[in-house]
């Protein structure tokens, strides 16, 4: 038997339902952006990481490392 939330059981939207819906939408949007970038043959590092929910500080560190590697 599948999990039934309180909101589903009693016919109202619970905070957990809203949270799970937002997570699902964010994941879907991130996957769509990454797939689009791959299909176009290029991907902006910042956009891809941001769509996956990576913090700006970690994005900056990763970009700096990638730039250092590509300049060698």
CA distance 30 to 64: 22
In whole angstroms, give the CA distance from residue 35 to residue 42.
Answer: 10
pTM of structure: 0.39
pLDDT in tens, the chain (72 residues): 577 777 778 888 888 778 888 888 888 877 777 677 666 655 666 777 777 888 888 888 887 887 788 776
What CA–CA distance (Å, rounded) separates 10 from 8?
A: 6
What is residue 9's three-state secondary structure?
helix
């Amino acid at each position: 038997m599948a999990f039934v939330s309180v909101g589903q059981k009693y016919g109202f939207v619970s905070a957990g339902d809203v949270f799970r819906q937002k997570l699902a939408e964010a994941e879907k949007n991130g996957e769509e952006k990454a797939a689009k970038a791959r299909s176009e043959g290029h991907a902006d590092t910042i956009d891809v990481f941001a769509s996956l929910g990576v913090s700006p500080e970690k994005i900056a560190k990763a970009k700096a490392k990638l730039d250092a590697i590509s300049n060698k």
